[in-house]
């Protein structure tokens, strides 16, 4: 199999530690590991002196601790969560981005994701301005980031998972920017405008993956859940529950060809050779088939890399799977 040891461990702990926290009728509701968002790793990273040399705080979902220094992050404590927070080294310059972070909620924390602009400018060396959407997801990130090109390729999306939940449940609230259109800022060329309002999103897919002799990864789509939020919801919505649809859902009344189609988003994963390759969805699986992987992402902007509306925020807490 092509999954590395760290991801295998995350999967095993996902199964072992997803202990039902309460029952609802004949169903069980299980907390995703670290899904209560109460434990965070704090990274203290000093940026390069040429851009100010300030110490920045970068956060990851994992066992509470502090890491000092510009050290590439690897998921700790078998946490299955990655974030959009990164440390980059471009042209020898160390720069950080923090667009997902803990925010106090009652006696614990929630995850807050913001869409914001990030820039680094050093005359004659580098001049980059990008739009960064806040995101948390099941998977890992390859650090340090060395380029703004093809940002999806630095993410290993999804974790091994063979169960078939009927729904996902979580608490959330939303703040939407007052903008009819979005902006696109890739770090190259001028900042442009993209038609259409920005939206926050929750995306869950279950896949049955396999790898060929050349290291290419293919998949069938087994389960699908996509929801977008286009209006501000200032108060916490607790235990929001969304059904996961199985099999070929193109004829289902709630099917959206823009957001639910195969390969709607570009996703990558490590193969057996250690290369991060695109996961190509080649068809819809049968609803009776078992998945091999679970992908789950929450994001403050839905349009893909470098597209969104600064000012968007999405809060997520208590992420659970319903069986």
All residues at 6 or more sequence positions from 126 whose CB lies less than 8 Å from its CB, including other chains? 90, 91, 93, 120
- Which of 33-37, 86-90, 203-207, 312-316 shows the lowest mean pLDDT across its residues? 86-90
Q: How confident is the model at residue 90 (pLDDT cuts 50, 70, 90)?
A: confident
In this predicted model, what pLDDT tens digit does every residue of 210-236 receive, in sequence order?
999 999 999 999 999 999 999 999 999
Alpha carbons within 13 A on the beta-carbon side of 256:
10
Architecture of domain 5-38+82-322: Sandwich (2.60)
Lowest mean pLDDT among 3-7, 132-136, 266-270, 305-309: 3-7
Strands 27-31 and 20-24: antiparallel
pTM (predicted TM-score): 0.88
State how far Cα 308 lies from the chain centre: 15
Distance CA 89, CA 20 (A): 42
**b/e string for 236-273 if b means 16 or more Cβ within 10 A?**
eeeeeeeebbbbbbeeeeeeeeebbbbebbbbbbbbee
What is the predicted pLDDT for the residue at 122? 63
**For residue 10, what pLDDT is reported?**
43
CB-based contacts of 50, cutoff 8 Å, min separation 6: 93, 122, 125
């Amino acid at each position: 199999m092509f999954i590395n040891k760290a991801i295998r461990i995350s999967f095993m702990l996902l199964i072992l530690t997803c202990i039902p926290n309460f029952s609802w009728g004949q169903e069980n509701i299980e907390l995703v590991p670290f899904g209560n968002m109460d434990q965070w790793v704090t990274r203290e990273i000093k940026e390069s002196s040429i851009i100010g040399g300030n110490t920045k705080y970068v956060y990851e979902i994992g066992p509470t601790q502090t890491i000092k220094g510009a050290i590439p992050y690897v998921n700790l404590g078998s946490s299955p969560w990655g974030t959009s927070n990164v440390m980059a080294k471009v042209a020898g310059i160390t720069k950080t981005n923090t667009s997902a972070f803990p925010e106090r909620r009652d006696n614990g924390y929630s995850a807050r994701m913001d869409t914001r602009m990030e820039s680094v400018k050093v005359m004659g060396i580098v001049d980059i301005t990008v739009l960064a959407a806040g995101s948390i997801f099941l998977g890992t990130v390859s650090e340090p980031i060395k380029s703004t090109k093809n940002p999806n390729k630095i993410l290993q999306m999804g974790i091994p998972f063979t169960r078939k939940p009927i729904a996902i449940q979580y608490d959330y609230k939303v703040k939407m920017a007052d903008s009819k259109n979005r902006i696109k800022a890739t770090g190259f060329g001028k900042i442009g405008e993209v038609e259409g309002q920005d939206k926050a999103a929750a995306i869950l897919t279950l896949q049955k993956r396999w790898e060929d002799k050349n290291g290419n990864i293919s998949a069938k789509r087994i389960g699908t859940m996509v929801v977008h939020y286009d209006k501000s919801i200032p108060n916490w919505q607790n235990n929001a529950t969304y059904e996961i649809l199985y099999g070929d859902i193109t004829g289902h009344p709630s099917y959206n060809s823009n957001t639910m189609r195969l390969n709607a988003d570009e996703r990558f994963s490590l193969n057996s050779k250690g290369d991060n390759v695109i996961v190509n969805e080649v068809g819809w699986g049968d609803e009776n088939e078992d998945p091999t992987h679970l992908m789950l992402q929450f994001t403050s902007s839905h349009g893909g890399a470098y597209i969104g509306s600064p000012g968007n925020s999405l809060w997520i807490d208590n992420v659970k799977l319903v069986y």
